Amino acid sequence: MSHINDGENIFGEVIHSYTRAQAIEDGMLIDVTETAKEAGFRMPVAVTTRVWTQCVEVPAKVQGQDEMGRLWDVLWICRHKIASSRDAGGDTLFFQVHVRNDNRPGMPPLVTLKVVCGPGDQGEPVLTVLYPDED
């Protein structure tokens, strides 16, 4: 008779695991925790490389933009969405931020992102900002 609570994994031996620390070391995630703390976050925050390259990095020749300002915009709007959704439940929230990637006049286009709260490498809560089609 098998016991689920005997400490064995009911799915068998783990074949491969990829930790959050490895993803940060490999550059798949960018740790933005220090800036996130300034924006009021109380847990570690990372963004995917895609979010970093498309929403934080400033494309060549784009005027009036800098990485810290763009990162702040993403984090601040994310933080506001979390604060205004405290009773929503679930581990994922979607939010939108204007991202200027060219010098055209007018309001920059809205980009939809999501923030996921999940377990870190030691089971602690961590946040990851990514595109809706990223996992």
Summarize pLDDT for 41-82 with one digit per residue, the tens.
Answer: 999 999 999 999 999 999 999 999 999 999 999 999 999 999
The per-residue pLDDT for 124 is 96
The DSSP symbol for 50 reads H
Q: pTM for the complete prediction?
A: 0.86
- Domain extent listing, the chain: 20-130
Helix (H, G, I), strand (E, B) or coil at 14: coil
Helix (H, G, I), strand (E, B) or coil at 78: helix
Handedness of CA 95, 97, 99, 105 (dihedral sign): positive
Distance of CA 75 to the CA centre of its chain: 9
The DSSP symbol for 58 reads P
Summarize pLDDT for 72-104 with one digit per residue, the tens.
Answer: 999 999 999 999 987 777 899 999 999 999 999
Give the Cα separation of 18 and 77 in Å (integer): 29
Band the pLDDT of 134: cuts 50, 70, 90.
Answer: very high
What dihedral do alpha carbons 72, 126, 57, 105 form, nearest 10°? -50
